[in-house]
């Protein structure tokens, strides 16, 4: 096997890696000292990961959270095409043919590669492409290819990876954690209180040009939501308040205080917290430890992530505060500790939510004052997750990147585009992440399953098929419509359907939907203590999910029904 090296000028050379093979695995590695300084990327292209058309063959390819979950790519007769992942929320991929099954785990430079899968002249290939340079070759590149028994499928691959990861089961963790037990049994409800226009018309905001705050729900109105839920016999809800910070959601991070006055200020927020807790609800707040805005009183460009070319790392989307810049994980620790401590003193407790962290791979920082590799960034983020648990009883974040899996209690959505249009190489999306982590991490399956109670039945059934925890979200749709093609725009990624509370009629409709979601979950929540051991397509439109206690859930998209046996 040769590894192809492409340098910054696109010149190509080859390097012989170290290959160690035994009866169980093949380990392929390159010492970082051998990687040329002018390297742009290295392709690990083992000849044993190629296949012709094979009716029993396929590859499984995880993607970044925003790309739509794990692809199952069958080795059927397809037109030539190639897919390159944006990132990888699990450092693995799988390869199955009629006469072998290999399961690959990237163990060195796990944050510096993308998966390439393609077909050319009916020959399939899959390999990791490592993007390394003089500044990023901080450890050897290494991939372990495990030899699973012939005929092993993606369920067997997931079981194998689960054994490697050894996630601690929820049924064990809840024994000494009442907040996590409550989360397991409850409906998750997010209420977006206030925000500024997104995409922001003002990239660099000052107090003089800052856009007006839009109020979606005051603290008093939120109390009415909770009151009506209780009247509907919805007994357990974890309520996450979004956009209580100064100038609303993503208003001036990392600045938290003062609490936004237009929703009721600090007094109103504390009163809402106490009221929710008096009803038996678990109350938490949404915070952000990744982004810094120029309008923030905390603004300090010396705290930002420096990119390899000497600029500052920043988001493509202009959120409420304008252009967001990324804070170096080293530097965000102090801001996070300050904000979390303030919210703990205000009385909040539960699965506290920190945005973004688990939704993207950790970044390298090239600052001369606070340099960090992506691996070091991941370690700091994991320490923040642990600190959050200490303060509140639990930690939640946005996506499912599994470097954080030991610290995650709840994932807002494990993917974005779960059943939308897929790349031509993809035949199905499969719940591979769920097969590994169900029974150890709570989650909502996708952005499409947010507010499934007011969406079409497909959203509801996908939530059932993927074994989710129900998520309701007031004012989930807050981005300017049709803005995805504008500079700094993104579109409403959680859908056009929403829970609203401006009028009593809207509120009654929302509460009724939430009540139905909760009532259904009370029949299903104990499955959160079980491992998802098998998922399979039984026939067109019919999928079956099997759990470790023997429960079988069958979803029929043709008839819009499901059964639990």
Give per-residue pLDDT as tens, 262-315: 999 999 999 999 999 999 999 999 999 999 999 999 999 999 999 999 999 999
| Alpha carbons 381 and 401: distance in angstroms, whole number | 12
- Cβ-contact 362, 407 below 8 angstroms: no
Give the number of other Cβ atoms within 10 Å of residue 522's Cβ. Answer: 14
pLDDT computed for residue 485 by the predictor: 79
**pTM over cut 0.95:** yes
pLDDT computed for residue 389 by the predictor: 98
pLDDT computed for residue 361 by the predictor: 95
- Cβ-contact 424, 81 below 8 angstroms: yes
Structure tokens at 17: 């890696």
pLDDT computed for residue 83 by the predictor: 96
Of 92, 130, 90, 88, give the one whose Cα is nearest residue 109: 130
- Cβ-contact 196, 247 below 8 angstroms: yes
Q: Which residues in the chain come in under a pLDDT of 50?
A: none
pLDDT computed for residue 549 by the predictor: 98
- Cβ-contact 417, 399 below 8 angstroms: no
* Rounded CA Rg of the chain: 24
Summarize pLDDT for 519-556 with one digit per residue, the tens. Answer: 999 999 999 999 999 999 999 999 999 999 999 999 99
pLDDT computed for residue 252 by the predictor: 99
- Cβ-contact 355, 287 below 8 angstroms: yes
To which H or E segment does residue 379 belong? helix 374-392
Summarize pLDDT for 460-511 with one digit per residue, the tens. Answer: 999 999 999 999 999 999 999 887 778 888 889 999 999 999 999 999 999 9
Which are the contacts of 414, defined by CB distance < 8 A and separation ≥ 6? 65, 69, 89, 399, 400, 433, 434, 443, 444, 445, 446, 466
| Alpha carbons 472 and 476: distance in angstroms, whole number | 9
- Tally the residues of the chain: 565
Going along the chain from its start, the domains and CATH numbers come out as 3-165 (no CATH), 170-529 (3.20.20.80), 533-565 (no CATH)
């Amino acid at each position: 096997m040769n590894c192809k090296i492409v340098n910054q000028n696109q010149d190509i050379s080859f390097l012989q890696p170290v290959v160690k093979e035994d009866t169980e695995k093949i380990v392929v590695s390159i010492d970082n000292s051998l990687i040329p300084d002018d390297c742009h990327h290295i392709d690990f292209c083992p000849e044993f990961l190629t296949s012709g058309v094979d009716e029993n063959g396929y590859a499984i390819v995880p993607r970044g959270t925003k790309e739509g979950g794990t692809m199952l790519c069958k080795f059927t007769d397809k037109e030539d095409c190639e897919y390159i992942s944006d990132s990888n929320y699990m450092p693995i991929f799988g390869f199955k043919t009629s006469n072998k099954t290999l399961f690959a785990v990237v163990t060195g430079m796990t944050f510096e590669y993308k998966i390439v899968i393609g077909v050319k002249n009916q020959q399939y290939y899959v390999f990791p492409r490592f993007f390394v340079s003089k500044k990023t070759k901080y450890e050897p590149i290494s991939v372990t290819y495990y030899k699973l028994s012939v005929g092993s499928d993606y369920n067997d691959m997931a079981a194998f990876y689960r054994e490697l990861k050894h996630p601690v089961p929820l049924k064990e963790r809840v024994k000494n954690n009442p907040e996590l037990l409550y989360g397991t049994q409850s409906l998750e409800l997010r209420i977006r209180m206030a925000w500024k226009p997104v995409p922001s018309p003002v990239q660099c905001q000052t107090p003089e040009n800052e856009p007006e705050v839009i109020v979606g729900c005051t603290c008093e109105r939120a109390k009415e939501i909770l009151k009506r839920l209780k009247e509907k016999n919805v007994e357990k809800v974890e309520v996450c308040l979004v956009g209580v910070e100064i100038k609303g959601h993503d208003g001036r991070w990392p600045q938290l205080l003062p609490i936004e006055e237009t929703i009721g200020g600090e007094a109103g927020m504390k009163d809402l917290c106490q009221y929710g807790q008096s009803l038996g609800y678990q109350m938490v707040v949404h915070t952000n430890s990744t982004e810094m805005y120029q309008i923030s009183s905390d603004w300090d460009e010396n705290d930002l992530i420096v990119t390899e070319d000497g600029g500052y790392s920043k988001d493509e989307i202009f959120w409420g505060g304008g252009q967001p810049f990324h804070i170096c994980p080293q530097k965000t620790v102090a801001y996070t500790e300050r904000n979390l401590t303030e919210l703990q003193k205000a009385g909040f407790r539960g699965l506290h939510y920190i945005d973004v962290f688990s939704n993207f791979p950790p970044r390298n920082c090239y600052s001369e004052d606070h340099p960090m590799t992506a691996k070091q960034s991941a370690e700091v983020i994991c320490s923040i997750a642990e600190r959050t648990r200490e303060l509140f009883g639990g930690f939640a974040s946005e996506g499912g990147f599994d470097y954080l899996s030991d610290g995650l209690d709840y994932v807002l959505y494990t993917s974005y585009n779960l059943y939308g249009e897929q790349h031509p190489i993809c035949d199905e999306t499969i719940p591979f992440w769920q097969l590994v982590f169900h029974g150890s991490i709570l989650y909502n399956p996708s952005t499409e399953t947010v507010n499934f109670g007011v969406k079409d039945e497909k959203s509801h059934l996908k939530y059932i098929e993927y074994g989710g925890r129900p998520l309701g979200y007031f004012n989930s749709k807050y981005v300017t419509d049709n803005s995805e093609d504008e500079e700094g725009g993104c579109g409403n990624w959680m859908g056009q359907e929403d829970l609203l509370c401006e009028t009593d009629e809207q509120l009654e409709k929302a509460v009724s939907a939430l009540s139905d979601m909760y009532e259904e979950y009370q029949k299903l929540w104990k499955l959160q203590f079980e491992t998802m051991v098998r998922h399979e397509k039984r026939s067109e439109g019919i999928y079956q999910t099997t759990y470790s206690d023997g429960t079988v859930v069958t979803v029929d998209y043709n008839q819009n029904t499901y059964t639990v046996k």
